């Protein structure tokens, strides 16, 4: 097995995935970039050291494609995968009654089903790599259900639950399972309308609700810390920390705070 550590990142073509790729590459890790956006992957790869990355077109909803992508990356990495970063995600919002079935299905399939597939496909490689870690991107929306983001919140609650379950289930094989729970990040995901019935971007809704944005570099550092730390959940940013506190000690207050951020 190669001595060079390796991380496989879904959603590596932009946003959190790109920032995490840069953070781990600074430590001389081999970075496997996976995305459906090939142009975005090439842009990320251009920001990394020569010979420091591989690219894998991957639709996380396709279970067989997972096996192919991870096998290709393991061949490049000498058989090891130290970190599997389940990061690919989509964001749609608005009243549940107004959402299209296609939007609901996309949220569930990418944000949750894709994470389950990634965990299952990566486990054999993680089990062969001492001290490995499965890292999932959850969200502050997985701490308390957010009005007008019901399906999105539900997928992130699911990621949170799976993280906790697998951290126990896989501990005997020396595999850590962790998640990131950031607040809102000013990435391309938020630039789009919340759903097909509105021209208002999710970013505009976050600004109107007076919620804070987190620099993507902070999330990348949190990913590094989560992989090397002992906490199952890593809260990132003021919004996530406030929601975590209020959901435990003042649920009425957090309900009013999150009543309608997508109006």
The CB-based long-range contact list for 42-49 (8 Å cut-off, 24+ gap) reads: 43/13, 43/14, 43/18, 44/12, 44/13, 44/14, 44/17, 44/18, 47/18, 47/21, 47/22, 48/21, 48/22, 49/25
The yes-or-no answer on residue 152 being catalytic is yes
Beta strands in 3-142 (DSSP E): 6-10, 30-35, 53-57, 83-86, 132-137
Tokens representing residue 82 in the block: 């130290």
d(CA 233, CA 138) in angstroms, rounded, equals 9
> What is the phi/psi pair of residue 143, to 5°?
-95, -35
Active-site entry in 117, 125, 144, 152:
152
Residue 136: name the closest of 91, 184, 177 by CA: 177
Beta strands in 110-211 (DSSP E): 132-137, 175-182, 184-185
Contacts of 23 (CB under 8 A, 6+ apart): 217, 220, 221, 223, 224
d(CA 224, CA 227) in angstroms, rounded, equals 5
Active site residues: 152
């Amino acid at each position: 097995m190669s001595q060079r550590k390796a991380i496989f990142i879904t959603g590596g073509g932009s946003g959190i995935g790109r920032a995490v790729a840069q953070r781990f590459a600074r430590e001389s890790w081999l970075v496997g970039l996976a995305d459906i956006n090939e142009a975005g992957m090439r842009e990320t790869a251009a920001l990394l050291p020569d010979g420091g990355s591989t690219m894998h077109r991957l639709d996380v909803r396709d279970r067989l494609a997972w096996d192919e992508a991870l096998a290709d990356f393991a061949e490049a990495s000498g058989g090891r995968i130290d970190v599997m970063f389940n990061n690919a995600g989509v964001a749609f919002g608005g009243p549940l009654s107004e959402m299209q079935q296609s939007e609901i299905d996309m949220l569930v399939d990418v944000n949750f089903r894709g994470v389950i597939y990634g965990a299952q496909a990566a486990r054999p490689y993680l089990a062969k790599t001492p001290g490995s870690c499965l890292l999932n991107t959850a969200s502050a929306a997985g701490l308390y259900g957010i009005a007008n983001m019901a399906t999105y919140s539900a997928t992130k609650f699911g990621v949170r639950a799976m993280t906790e379950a697998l951290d126990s289930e896989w501990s005997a094989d020396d595999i850590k399972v962790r998640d990131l729970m950031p607040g809102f990040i000013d990435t391309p995901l938020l630039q789009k309308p919340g759903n097909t019935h509105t021209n208002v971007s999710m970013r505009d809704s976050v600004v109107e609700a007076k919620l804070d944005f987190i620099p993507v570099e902070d999330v990348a550092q949190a990913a590094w810390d989560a992989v090397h730390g002992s906490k199952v959940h890593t809260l990132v940013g003021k919004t996530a920390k406030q929601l975590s506190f209020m959901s435990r000690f003042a649920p009425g207050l957090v309900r009013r705070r999150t009543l309608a951020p997508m109006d």
